[in-house]
Each structure stands twice: as C-alpha cells, then as structure tokens.
A and B are shown apart, each in its own frame.
Chain A
C-alpha cells in the first residue's frame, strides 16, 4: 500500500483533490453570458465585429499539476513496524482510484462565446493591452496574484472583478496567519462559486463555515484540507447546521475531524461525504437518502469509543443508494461487517474496510452473500486467510477488478496466486506486506546457513522462500511491497503498467522474470542492488524477453538453468491485444 510517489499520470492511487503544496491556488472562470454592449469593434481582437468570429476559451489553466501528491512515510518505516497502522491518508486511494486524473485542466468545457468585455478598451493607444488579452493573462494567475493585480490600476481592477464574478471554482491555500475575514473578503468577490477547496494552514472553526455559508450561495462542493499543524475545531453540531443550510451541497470532504464528537447530517442533496481523523463519535445520524459515496477514516488513537456497529447499521438503513463505502478503523470487526451486510445495499460496488484485524473469513462470507457484485474490495489489515480469498474468487469473478489485501498476515502466496488465476477482470492487486514475517526485522538468512533455517518455526516457513507466478491479461497495477518472504517472481502480464517491489529484499535476481511489455514504472526501493540491475535490464530489453521462445534459459555462468514455467513458451496473445506494435515506452525503475 505504501507506494513511492513518482510524478507520473498513472498513479496507483491518485488523490484527486490534493491542493499542491505552496503553489497558491487556481481559479476557474466561465464567461459571463448575455452581456453585450453595442460596440463596433470586438473587445478582443480589435477587428470590426461584423463578419468575424472571435474565439476565446475560458478554460481553467491550473498552474500546478495535480500530480504533486503528499509524500507518505518512507516504506522502510512501515516494513519494520507492520503492526502499527500506516498513515491513514492513503487508504482513501482505493476509492479515488475510480477518479482517473486524466485531464489536469479539470475538463471544463471550452466556450466559444463572443465575450464582449464592453468598454472600448480595445484602443491600442491607451493602456496598450486590449481587455481580452488582459483577461487571458489574469485568469491564469493564482488567486493571490489576481488579488494583487487589482491594485495595479483601475482597468485591471475592473477586469479582475469580472474574473472573480465569473469564477465557479476556487482553490485557496490559507496561510497560517490569515484570518477568516480575509478569506471572507475573497469569497465575497466570487459569489458564483460552486466548488470550493481550502487548504488550511491556520486553525479552522465554525466561523469559517459561517463565512462560507454566507458568501457562497451556490456551493455544491466543499473541501477542507488541513496541514499537519492546523487544528480543525469544527464540532458536529456546527457541521450539521452547515449541511442543513446548504441545500445544494453535493460533496463534502473534511480533514482533521477530531472535534466532531458526533453529528446529525440531514441532506437530500449530499452524495459524497469524506471525513477523516475521526475520533470517538457518540451519536451519528446519516439522514442522507441520496448518499452515494462515504469515506470515514478514524484516527488511530487509543480508547476510541465509537460504536461502529450502530453507526454502520444506521448508515445502511438511511442511505440505501450507497455505492462506495470506505471505513478505516482499527476497531472494525466481524460484528460491524454483519451490521453492514444486514442492510443489503443493493447498489454497493466498492467496499473498503481496512485496518480491522478482527475482520475474518466469516466476514468475507457475509459480504459475499449480500453483495455479490462488488468491483472493489479492500480488506487490508484484516485477518482473512486463503479460504477467504477462495470465497472471494467464488463469488466475485465476474465483477471484481480491484482487490486489496495488504497487511493481511494470514494470506499466503498460494492465495495470491489463486486470486490472480481466478479473477479475470482484475486490474489492481495490492498484496503489500503479506508474504513476510512482520515481526522479523532481520534479513532472512540465505540458504547456505542451514543451521539457521532450523531455528525458524514451521509456522513461519510459509513466509520465506516464497514464489509467485502470475499470468494475467488485464492486470495493470500490482503491489508486492514489503514482501520480504518472496524470493522468486514470474510475471506475464501484457497490460501491467505499475509494479511495486519496494522492500522485497529477498527477491533473488536470478529468479525474477518480467514479461510485461507495457510496464511503465517499477518501484524497487530497498531491494538488492543486483535485483535492481536485473529489473532494469529486463524492462529495457525491447521485446527480446518475450521473443525468447526457449523453454529454458541458460545463465551467464552456464551452470544453472532456470526452469521457466510452461506458460512462458506459449507466446500467443489474446485477440484484444493491439495489432500495431507500439514502440515500447520507457519504463522507470524507481529506487527512492
């Protein structure tokens, strides 16, 4: 689950709405319609309006790519202490995987409106720049820049004002010393705001909510992110009031919810709700019949008194349209799962219940029987075993495309292999920290020291010297991070883009075979030097590995022969493989 981030478009788990650190913010405008004054010349190009069509696109131009995601704890620290839950933030990825970060510009429709900015400012003599050009420049500035621009001269202030009024989306980073009043003054410039995202570096409380409620009558989507030092003091009552007031609010995402204490949320418009850092919730009521997606992440503090079973029960009963559920809490247990499955949510497609070591194979049975059409199942951190995997493969082969079972100590390589063999639609598989001994911090001794091998108890033998053979036509992302018990890996995956082998420190360089021509990134931090070299060699070998039809492979020293599994000799591809041979993309091997 811990993936090193690399700036590429195809993240394993993109977190779409991360505001880039320190980059200010982005503003999106759409042209004001229907405001034409009788002017002979076009406001933008200065040509006579008659018979010409001006062409202004008012798309957003984000000034920093969404690909800069927050850095997570280095993999090595997680490998060492597998029992301590990893930072919670990344769990959300399982859900956001659905939202592919394709277009950095947010995909806002281009508009070919003949935007007449009215006043004959198009005179090239005075002020040099026609208003249309100015609009194009100003709308690409971050909000701070736009605010400053208003101080330049009256003409600029006017154009800036128009831009604000046309804005529909705003992403602001609120620095540590800023006061609510300043945010308020910005919000009041843009009453048309539909989507708001605030990255708080100062504390936030109900006055901010009130300010937003007052200034943004058309708000549909709100997100409050916070830096590590900021404190979110909003209480459950205050949040509840806000939600009730905002009748068109569809999406609410908030971090740092440790002071909520409990809440009653009533909204018929709300369809997406993400709350993180929750702690000790007393009463929770989700009176949101149109709720489609919910993500509840609990902080990992001790003595969390939340009654998860009751909460989930209420959720199931009041929100029948739920499709995506994500709950992260160490107190997840089988009884919570039963409460959820009892609700028989017929639209449920993505279910993610992570960190609950008391989730068992029985829980899998319950899930499988009540929700047979899951597309995503994430039970990372649970106690399920290979029989649980067996059940998953029994029930979900026709729908399941994403399976995440990281940090599940009771599954073995057979289970993993079984899953890849039985789930034809699988595109993402996360088996991080499974094939390993979580309590062992020492490197596994190599074969030559037989005496040390005897010291390993039988129960742990399945955690070392494991081999994985995976052949899958659709698998795109595979994570085996921290699988220190893995020493051989054969992958034949024509669609694989991303492979995570971080901390696979016992993976033997001579027992690795990658036949994945579309591989774009391999993460190999914490691996042996030789292994990294082998990986680099294999991924840069243009098709030669694939074209090698020999059933056996002779190694450099001539003495050993690696017995290559039978499937590798049958080089027939599926019909849906592209006929055209594309030049192989460069594959990056990422080491840190």
Chain B
C-alpha cells in the first residue's frame, strides 16, 4: 500500500477509501473527500459494496488523481467552514476561488487537459466547471490553428468548407491574439 508523498495519511479513526490510479498507485482518502467524486460515490452506492474494496480508476493518472484529491480535500474543508453566516460564506467562496485560480495558473496546457478528463471521468461537477472555464479562457481569443494544436485535433474540413466558415464569421476573428 504505497502512499504518494503528496498524499499524507488520513486521520486515524475516520473511514477511508482506497483509490487506485491507472499505474496501480493507491491513494487512501477520507470518505468525505472520496464522495466528492461522484463516480466513486456511485461505485459504493451499488449493491452495498464494502468500503474496503479498492476502487479502480483506470482512466486517471496518478498525478491527476493526486491533484484532484488535494483540491477536493480543500473544497470539503471550505464547505465545512461556511454555514449560515453570510460573511463566512463569502470568505469561503473567495478562498475557494483563490484555490481554483492557483490550481489553474500552475498547470500546463497538457496538465489542464488531463485534469479535465480526470474531473470528467470522476464526475466532479465543480472542478469540471472551473477547469472548463479556465480552458475556455486560454483559447478564447486564439486562432483556430492554436486551438487545434492545443487539443491535438486534425483539421478534417475540405478547403472549401473551411473558407466558407471563415468568411461567414470574419468578424468573430477580430481581435485574435497572436499565437
């Protein structure tokens, strides 16, 4: 049971769940955090699967999973902080936004894509939301070629088709940043 250095052992006494990344690495997380991942939640909702079962997350790399767990931990903490008090709510929300911004700022394009795929697969609504927004920001004013490179996509249009689309919305390409 190897624990990733970035993933400190959870508190003794709380229920934990074991998640296995695609390379076999196992992460032990608190139950509350694990349930942020809807995919994991449904895994256990099915027919009373025992909490001791290791959840195989074959589509998620260990680096991505580590970051996801880190984010979810902080998110759960912050949510616990906010309650009825409007002031505390506001503060918690700001902190969470700061956390999201930080996570996004440090990521490379590849990293962010990987995180999106992970958040999507693991079905973490909030995380997917801010990640997608961040990617949207990154490609918003870029050229079409840039977007293709970013997502590693092939241009499968015929030249005529492409020309037509371009002309139709020429004004949409105003203000495009240099790559």
Contacts and interface: CB of A to CB of B under 8 A. Distances in A.
B123 interface: yes
A129 B144 contact: no
Interface in A132-182: 132-133, 136-138, 140-145, 147-157, 175, 177-178, 182
A583 to B, nearest CB: 6
A143 B173 CA distance: 11
Contact of B120 (A63, A132, A138): A132
B81 to A, nearest CB: 14
Contacts of A133: 116-117, 120, 128, 132
A46 interface: yes
Given A148-B144, A148-B173, A46 B151 contact: no
A365 B152 CA distance: 73
Interface of A is mostly: loop
Interface string A169-201: 000000101100010011000000000000000
Most B CB within 10 A of own CB, among A54, A143, A153, A580:
A153
A173 to B, nearest CB: 10
Most buried by A among B46, B59, B168, B169: B169
Interface of B: 38-39, 42, 46, 59, 85-87, 113, 116-117, 120-121, 123, 125, 128-129, 132-133, 135-136, 139-141, 144, 147-148, 151-157, 162, 165-166, 168-174, 176
A130 interface: yes
15 contacts: A45-B39, A57-B125, A63-B136, A127-B153, A130-B117, A136-B132, A141-B136, A143-B172, A144-B174, A145-B136, A148-B173, A151-B166, A152-B148, A153-B157, A182-B170
Contact of B135 (A132, A137, A178, A582): A137
A124 B153 contact: no
A189 B34 CA distance: 41
Contact of A44 (B59, B120, B176): B120
B124 to A, nearest CB: 9
Interface residues of A, number: 49
Chain B CB within 10 Å — which of A52, A55, A130 has the most? Answer: A52
A146 to B, nearest CB: 8
B165 A151 contact: yes
A54 B116 CA distance: 16
B59 A144 contact: no
A177 B171 CA distance: 8
Given A52-B42, A149-B147, A177-B171, A45 B123 contact: yes
B139 to A, nearest CB: 7
A201 B174 CA distance: 14
A61 interface: yes
